[in-house]
């Protein structure tokens, strides 16, 4: 991604997270980036395309990170731990992206459906890990879809914890607490 496209991408993400998609205009994006509308339209055909690109790239980053890290783990409990740690890291580092995705999944419009699709696809990645862990006798025999959704929801709650604290959070400390409380309950 070239420098201008990255700047449009990052600025849009910040504005969408702070103001919401509908309250953010193309004019505001171009003014904040410091480019002409034509330059923006050279990279993206519309605000909707910027949004879709942002969500697609962000969720792809999360999913790819999980697949790379879990492939290196032998134990399925270690794979779940890797999922939780990576999710916390991504949520903290890309808070704006996660805020956008979570804020958009509740509706029935095209953006909501897009966000739901990516979130559900990602949860399916976790679900497959859980299913294999159950088959191997490492994870308790419960509904893999529910467990995967709980793991996703648990880590998303890190944003609420961060807002409540009003400061940066210690990722390793948060992960350790989650590991000692919730993750260990999955072990068979």
**39-72 pLDDT, tens digit each:** 999 999 999 999 999 999 888 888 898 999 999 9
Query: What's CA 79's distance to the chain center, in Å?
Result: 18
Cβ atoms within 10 Å, residue 104 = 21
pLDDT classification of 132: cutoffs 50, 70, 90:
very high
Section 122-131 average pLDDT: 96
Q: Which domains does the chain have, with CATH numbers?
A: 1-45 (1.10.10.60), 52-186 (1.10.357.10)
Q: Over 90: is that where the pLDDT of 152 sits?
A: yes
Sequence-ordered list of residues with C-beta below 8 angstroms from that of 79, at least 6 positions apart, any chain: 70, 73, 129, 133
> What pLDDT sits at residue 125?
94
**159-169 pLDDT, tens digit each:** 888 888 888 88
pTM: 0.87
Rounded to whole angstroms, the Cα distance separating 136 from 20 reads: 44
Question: Mean pLDDT in the chain?
Answer: 92
Rounded to whole angstroms, the Cα distance separating 30 from 8 reads: 8
């Amino acid at each position: 991604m070239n420098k201008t496209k990255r700047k449009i991408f990052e600025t849009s993400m910040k504005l969408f997270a702070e103001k919401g998609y509908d309250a953010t205009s193309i004019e505001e994006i171009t003014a904040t980036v410091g480019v002409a509308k034509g330059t923006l339209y050279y990279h993206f055909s519309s605000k909707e395309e910027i949004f879709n690109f942002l969500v697609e790239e962000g969720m792809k980053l999360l999913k790819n990170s999980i697949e790379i890290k879990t492939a290196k783990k032998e134990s399925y409990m270690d794979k779940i731990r890797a999922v939780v740690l990576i999710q916390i890291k991504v949520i903290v580092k890309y808070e704006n992206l996660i805020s956008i995705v979570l804020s958009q999944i509740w509706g029935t419009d095209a953006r909501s459906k897009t966000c739901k699709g990516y979130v559900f696809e990602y949860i399916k990645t976790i679900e497959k890990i859980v299913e294999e862990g159950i088959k191997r006798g490492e994870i308790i025999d419960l509904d893999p879809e529910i467990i995967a959704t709980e793991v996703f929801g648990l880590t998303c709650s890190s944003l609420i914890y961060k807002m409540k604290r009003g400061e940066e959070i210690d990722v390793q400390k948060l992960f350790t607490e989650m590991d000692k409380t919730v993750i260990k309950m999955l072990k068979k």
